[in-house]
Each structure stands twice: as C-alpha cells, then as structure tokens.
Structure 1
Amino acid sequence: MKRRNFIKNVSLGAAAGLTSVSSVNAYGLRPDADSTFNMNYAPHFGMFKGHAGDDFIDQLDFMYEKGFRSLEDNGMMGRPKEVQEKIGNHLAKLGMDMGVFVLDKGGNAANTFASGKKENTEVFLEGCRRAVETAKRVNAKWTTVVPGDFDRSLPMDIQTANVIEALRKGCEILEPHGLVMVLEPLSDTPNLFLRTSTQTYMICKAVDSPSCKVLYDVYHMQKNEGHLIVNIDHCWDEIAYFQIGDNPGRKEPGTGEINYLNVFKHIHDKGYRGIMGMEHGNAHPGKEGEEKLIEAYRKADAFM
C-alpha cells in the first residue's frame, strides 16, 4: 500500500502518533507534521527511500511531513516530460519550491566554454532552450551551469573571456523567462576551469545579468579555498543559491570538519532566505540513517 494512502486511511489508535482520517489534509499529510526549519533545506530524490520507497510523490510527501519545503533534483532535465509535470504539480499542491537542476550542455568537462569553440557554445545554448521548458514544468527558478575544463592551449585570460561570452549568450535565452543559471565552482578535478568563489564572482560581474549568479557549494569551497564565512561575505551580492555537504566524505552536517551551525547562522543573519540544497549522501544506511540525517539538520539549524 502506498504510504500516503496508508496515512489517509489510518484510524485513531491504529498506529502511534498518527491522527484520524478527519484530521488529514487533502494531500494525505498530518496537521501535526514536523515543524519547518529556520533555513529552507532541499533534499533530493532517494535520500529518504528507506521510509518513503521509490515513488517520487511518496518521497515528496515524506519530505514535507519532516519539515522540508523544497526539492533539489540535479537530473530533472533527463526525466520524461510527464514525470516532470507530475513532480511540478505535486510540489505546487504541497506549497514546496523547486531548487536547482543541472543544465544539460553535453557533458560538463568535454563541452568546455573556455576553448571558445562555436560548436561547444551552440550545444550550451540548445541546453538553455531546453532548460527553459523544463523549468516551466516544475516552476524552477535556478539551473546549475559548469563551464567545463581548462583549455590549456590558451592563456587564462583568453579562456575567461571565452567563458564570459558564452554565458552572456546563454543569458539572452534565460533572462526573458526569469530563469537564473547559477555557476558552480567545483573540487571534483583540478582540470575544471571554475574552481573558486571569487573567480566565479568576477565572471558573474563581467556577464552582468540577473540570470548569471553564483552557486556557493560549501563542500566544494571548503576543499578548494576554505575561509568559508570570509569568502561568502566577499561574494555575497552575486550568490543566489547554496548547497551543503560536510568534508571529508560529502555527507550531512556534523559528519566532518565544517561548523555548519556557525555557517548557517551567518548566512541566515545576512538575510538569506533562499534554498539550501542538500547535495550530499547519507552517512548511514537505511531508515536509521535517514533519521540520523534529519536529526543532524535539526542540530545544525538550532542557531535561534
């Protein structure tokens, strides 16, 4: 039996902590669902499969009941249109927001903007057009873009100019639809062109569009540059989105070296009320691991 249907049909006393049919809302959710968080954290599909199963709608219901009010799904562009629409409709019913999805540009590394090759830019621009259609189906406002690898045959400044030019062309497509590409500096490999928050800040300033901003992934920036709070302040006016993951291990807050209680408090105190994407794995398997993950966020979010 689907979990949401079970909740709808359970009677008072049938299971501890569940309420009667009359006190369950139209979406099968209890009015005594867990409280929300101080920050707007966004889980991804699969994070709570132990409790909610494989069905995307059941997973969304579980996220909502546990206090989460947003979803992040990097692979949204690769899902069938009817699945995108189903997810978007259910998010709207729950009053949940859609976080980032990755803009498909033919491979983050191989299809580099740094080379200045026309064919690479055209693949990116076609990805922008398709991203606009995906965003409409799920009511998304942000899409992640990674420029790709260095082109070590060219001087660094020429590569930077090539990246800026490609991004400006992409913004011409995205800006009329209110879709923002968030550029993400990464630590996955030293071959990637975009590596630091300040480099990304400079590029966003040069592109000079409301549709080109910084995605500050705390995990990657801890690895690449450290000084998290200092660099968040340096880049603040170009940051549109945050992602989370502790280091080492890229798991939930509290499993590594990052003082997420202080980081979250700092971001909150500066006035950020946007989405915080939970782009990490679970430190422990199964239902117990999922419960520990939720508790980790409760602890890191307890700064007020």
Structure 2
Amino acid sequence: MDHQRRQFMLTAALGAAAASTSALHASQEADDSASLSWGKTRFAVNIEMWGLGGGPAQDRIRAAAKLGYPAVEFWPWRNKDLDQIRIACDETGIEVAQFTAWPFNPGMNDPKNHDRIGKEIAESIQAAKKIGARKMTVIAGNDQPGMTQEQMHENVITGLKKWAPMAEDAGVMLILEPMNIRVDHKGHCLYGSPEAVRICREVGSPMVKINWDLYHMQITEGDLCRRMREGWDQVGYLQLADNPGRREPGTGEIDYSRVFKEAWDLGYRDFIGLECSPTDGNAERATERVKAADVW
C-alpha cells in the first residue's frame, strides 16, 4: 500500500471516528435534555397558548399533567365546561393557578361599566370556587375617549376598592395585569409597573394585587429584577414569555434563570404562568427549555 493511499485511509478513519464521537455526544446531550428534572420553581402552563393537542380544556389539562406540570392557567372561563375541568383536575392533581375573569371589555377604567363588572366579578368568584382557583386576572381596559390616563386609573382604583370586599370574603385574589402598548396591546390604559403598583397600594387590599407579566414588563420598561423588588409588596402572581417572539424561556433576550432566582429570594413560592407559545408548537421541547432555565 503506497504512502498516499495509506494516508487517505487514515484520514477517512479519523473522520469517521470523529463523526461517530460527535453523534454520540449529540445523543448524550439529547438524553441529558430529555432527563432534565424540575427545579424549584412551580409552573402553570397556559392551555390556550400551548395548544396541548387542541380540544376542550379538560383534555389540555390532562396533556399538561403528562408533561409534568403541576398547574394550568387559562383565559376567560365562560366558554369552558367547569364541571369537566374539575374532574380533570381531580384525576391528575393539577391545580388551576388563575384564569381571566372577563376579556378586555368592559373596561374598569369607565365608571359606567362598574355595575356590570361587579356582576362579572361575583360570577367569576363562583367559577373560581368551583374549580379550586385562588386567583383571577382583571383588566383595566383600553383608552376611553375624552379621559386622561390619570382619570382612567382613578376609575380603576374606585372600582377595585368597591369589589375588594367580595374578593376578601371569598378568598379569591383579583390580580390586575398591566400590558405592553408597544407590541401587543396598543391603546391599553395600563402599562408598566409604577402605575400598577400605585393603583394596588391605593386600593390597599391583600386580595387585590398585580399579575406581574415579565414579558410585558420587559417590553415596557426592562430592568426586571430591580423593578420587581421595588413593587414586590404588590406582586400577586408572575407570568412570563421570552422576548422577542413571546416564546418559552431560552428563546430570547431575558435571563430567566436570574429572574427565577430573584423571585425565589424575594420569597415567591406560588406558580409562575407560562403565557407563551412553544417554538414550532413543540410542547415537549419547550418544556425542556423551561426546565433548563430553572437552574441557578
């Protein structure tokens, strides 16, 4: 065998070995990823945004349980079979962390809507009790023609003060969600943490707090950990998505490992809502990214 041929065969053999080693490492990494365990943070998967096979809410709850989630959250309850949700939760041990009491309309920022909203809250509290939910999101509303932001926020405070005793008596927390107006909710009257914190401090109820959505906060103001510390006494619930894209942690610019540690150090032990869409609709892979972010 001449020298050139021997050299060629040696090079080919080394290349094959390297490829085999690379494939082995890739396989091991995939196995490691697939075997990631859950960290300290408890997550509630949003069954609307995650899809989870489609179908009714109760089927999505069962799918969430198979992925290992201890809780779910969802948007308005009126289009769902609460009896079947209760059955699915009892079967799987899943909790409903929170749901949306009503959509964007009617807005709390207009006093002419307050009587109607009072009825919505009363009925939503009964729904919460039926499915064992302890919290429900309430929406300030879109901008009202002819009103300043200050006027709209004062109307929100007036309404929440009126409805707080209902929430306190029922043991169901009203969590007020500030949105972002740059990307997702142009024309919404409440965005960023300072005004949301001020509103809830003015209301002064242990059962009226903030649904602190870290995705909205990142777009509106950034500085996530410092802002969260500053308003911590008014945080009732945390939600997340990475930015840009509103996907699962690990797909954008936010260092969620750092944020999870901050929340833990501040004493947060409740669920964090995954109000994000899995990349490519792959719930299993998105779940592994969620687990990977909860390592700190």
**If the TM-score is normalised by the length of the shorter chain, which range does it land in?**
0.7 to 0.9
Shift in Å, 1:269? 2.0
Shift in Å, 1:194? 0.9
Counterpart in the other structure of 2:140:
147
2:240 aligned with 1:232: no
Counterpart in the other structure of 1:84:
82
2:293 aligned with 1:279: no
Contact 2:52 2:63 in 1 (8 A): no
Larger radius of gyration: 2
CA RMSD of aligned residues (A): 2.1
CA distance in 1 between partners of 2:239 and 2:118 (Å): 25
Per-residue Cα deviation, 1:46-88 (whole angstroms, up to 9, x for no partner)? 62635xx636445333422332101111132332xxx212212
Query: Of 153, 160, 164, which aligns to 1:167?
Result: 160
Shift in Å, 1:200? 0.6
Counterpart residue type for residue 42 of structure 2 = N
CA distance in 1 between partners of 2:52 and 2:100 (Å): 22
CA distance in 2 between partners of 1:59 and 1:191 (Å): 32
Per-residue Cα deviation, 1:95-132 (whole angstroms, up to 9, x for no partner)? 3221111112xx51x52332332xx1112111101101
Counterpart residue type for residue 176 of structure 1 = D
Identity of matched residues, %: 29
Contact 2:67 2:284 in 1 (8 A): no
CA distance in 2 between partners of 1:183 and 1:54 (Å): 29
Which deviates more from structure 2 when the two are superposed, residues 143-152 or residues 229-238? Answer: 143-152
Higher normalized contact order (CA 8 Å, seq sep 6+, divided by chain length): 2
Counterpart residue type for residue 272 of structure 2 = M
CA distance in 1 between partners of 2:163 and 2:56 (Å): 34
Q: CA 1:55 to 1:184, structure 2 compared with 1: closer, same or farther past 3 Å?
A: closer
2:294 aligned with 1:301: yes
Which deviates more from structure 2 when the two are superposed, residues 131-140 or residues 165-174? Answer: 165-174
Contact 1:181 1:211 in 2 (8 A): yes
Contact 1:38 1:301 in 2 (8 A): yes
Q: TM-score, normalised by structure 2?
A: 0.81
Counterpart residue type for residue 52 of structure 2 = K
Counterparts of 1:99-248 in structure 2 under 5 Å? Answer: 99-104=97-102, 107-108=103-104, 110-117=105-112, 120-187=113-180, 188-248=184-244
CA distance in 1 between partners of 2:212 and 2:290 (Å): 19
Shift in Å, 1:250? 0.5
CA distance in 2 between partners of 1:210 and 1:192 (Å): 25
Give SS of 1:99's match.
strand
CA distance in 1 between partners of 2:230 and 2:152 (Å): 23
Contact 1:36 1:69 in 2 (8 A): no
Per-residue Cα deviation, 1:35-56 (whole angstroms, up to 9, x for no partner)? 5442111113262635xx6364
Q: CA 1:145 to 1:48, structure 2 compared with 1: closer, same or farther past 3 Å?
A: closer
Counterpart in the other structure of 1:45:
47
Q: CA 1:63 to 1:157, structure 2 compared with 1: closer, same or farther past 3 Å?
A: closer
Unaligned 5+ runs, structure 1:
1-32
2:284 aligned with 1:291: yes
Q: Would you say how many aligned residue pairs link Structure 1 and Structure 2?
A: 258
Give SS of 2:279's match.
coil
Counterpart residue type for residue 173 of structure 2 = V
CA distance in 2 between partners of 1:92 and 1:49 (Å): 19
Contact 1:37 1:301 in 2 (8 A): yes
Unaligned 5+ runs, structure 2:
1-34
Counterpart in the other structure of 1:21:
none
Counterpart residue type for residue 66 of structure 1 = L
Contact 1:37 1:68 in 2 (8 A): no
Give SS of 2:133's match.
coil
CA distance in 2 between partners of 1:241 and 1:94 (Å): 23
Shift in Å, 1:191? 1.6
- Structure with the larger helix share: 2
Counterpart in the other structure of 1:61:
62
Per-residue Cα deviation, 1:109-162 (whole angstroms, up to 9, x for no partner)? x52332332xx1112111101101110111011110111023352344333221
CA distance in 2 between partners of 1:68 and 1:114 (Å): 35
Contact 2:37 2:291 in 1 (8 A): no
Which deviates more from structure 2 when the two are superposed, residues 291-300 or residues 153-162? Answer: 153-162
